[in-house]
Structure 1
Amino acid sequence: MRNRRTAAVLALAAGLAAATLASTPAQAAAEPRSRLELTVENGDASTRTSTTLDCHPAGGTHPEAARACAALETAGGDFDRLGTARQQQVVCTLQYDPVRLSATGTWKGRPVEWQKEFGNACEAQGATDGVFPL
């Protein structure tokens, strides 16, 4: 009797493990890829830096990839919706030192082409919720 119970438990565990392994690749394939190139350029275009941001899972060359992905997730991948809650809490000087930000790539499989110019890096940081490493 005990051997039958042990065999039944082992068979159930093996079946669950096989089902989990079989569903993992399908779930991974179902998650759309998010890969972005984020560019920061000063106003006269003499300085330009680029970084990559991968989300789902977070990675790339971005120094705070998980935080940037979380901000984009909250904004639904819409760069114009980034920082809307924080924007009014950020206090910046009125120094004019323009910075141009751009993002190209894909967000959850959808193409992304976005760029915007800000009066200075502080303003850009607040408006984009820190997605761009400035």
Structure 2
Amino acid sequence: MPRRRNAAVLAGTAVLATVLTPASAPAVAVPTAAPASARPWPAPMPVPEPVMPAARQDQLTITVSTSPEGVAAPHTAPRGVRGGGAPTRRTHTLDCHPAGGTHPDAPAACDAVDRASQGPRDPWQPVPEDAMCAQIHGGPATARITGVWRGQRVDASFRRTDGCEIARWNALVPALPGPEELGE
């Protein structure tokens, strides 16, 4: 069987010659240079490198308020309740991914918020009305967290009025102050 050549232009940039040989031998494709007239015009634009999205930055403002735990004199206060003390109010900013802001321990606070937000409960949602909670009082401290976390607006209030609220608060320690920082 005689040899035949068949030329084709692939994607307008190269010519491929196919050489046919006897039936016992496989066909062989031999690349050749494309003639100048077969090259596309204008030349294709280079593909730019993919642009990496900017690092996520979550920003929260944390305001913690305390008030006197008791108004009675220390000798008449119920056991476990401290009397006196002036109310305080502290506000910190917390930037995460990367960690920063005015929070005294931003990296640990960011880790705590990350863990809490990956848990089974949304840390920004209040305790459900029908929740059964232990009736223990964790003190008069309250907190409000506002800002943006994982692209979602956050406006959540926290208190330590029962077991469920204390557990919700403690899930965010050290973003929120722990019992020792609150004087408990």
Query: Which TM-score band applies after superposition, normalised by the shorter structure?
Result: 0.5 to 0.7
- Deviation of the 1:34 alpha carbon: 0.6
- Greater radius of gyration (CA): 2
Distance 1:107 1:96, change over 3 A: closer
Among candidates 144, 164, 170, match of residue 102 of structure 1: 144
SS in 1 for 2:117: coil
Identity of counterpart residues, as a percentage? 35
- TM superposition shift of 1:127: 4.3
Higher relative contact order (CA 8 A, sep 6+): 1
After TM superposition, the score normalised by the length of structure 2 is 0.43
Q: Which runs of 4+ in 1 moved over 4 A?
A: none
If each structure's helix is expressed as a fraction of its own residues, which one has the higher value?
A: 1
- CA deviations 1:106-126 (Å, max 9, x no partner) are 00221001112115xxx5863
Counterpart among 29, 37, 40 of residue 61 in structure 2: 37
Alignment of 1:1-134 (within 5 A): 19=49, 23=51, 26-28=52-54, 31-43=55-67, 46-76=87-117, 78-79=122-123, 97-119=139-161, 126-133=170-177, 134=181
Q: What is the distance in 2 between the residues matched to 1:68 and 1:108?
A: 15
Q: Distance in 2 between matches of 1:79 and 1:132?
A: 12
- Provide structure 1 residue ranges, at least 5 long, that are not aligned to the other structure: 1-17, 82-93
Amino acid at match of 1:114: A
Q: Give the corresponding residue for 1:86.
A: none
Structure 2 SS opposite 1:79:
coil
Residue in structure 2 matched with residue 10 of structure 1 by the alignment: none
Runs of 5+ consecutive residues of structure 2 not aligned to the other structure: 1-47, 69-85, 126-135
Question: Which secondary structure does the structure 2 equivalent of 1:75 belong to?
Answer: helix
Task: Provide the alpha-carbon RMSD of the alignment.
Answer: 3.2
Deviation at 1:59, TM superposition (A): 0.4
Name the TM-score, length of structure 1 as normaliser: 0.57
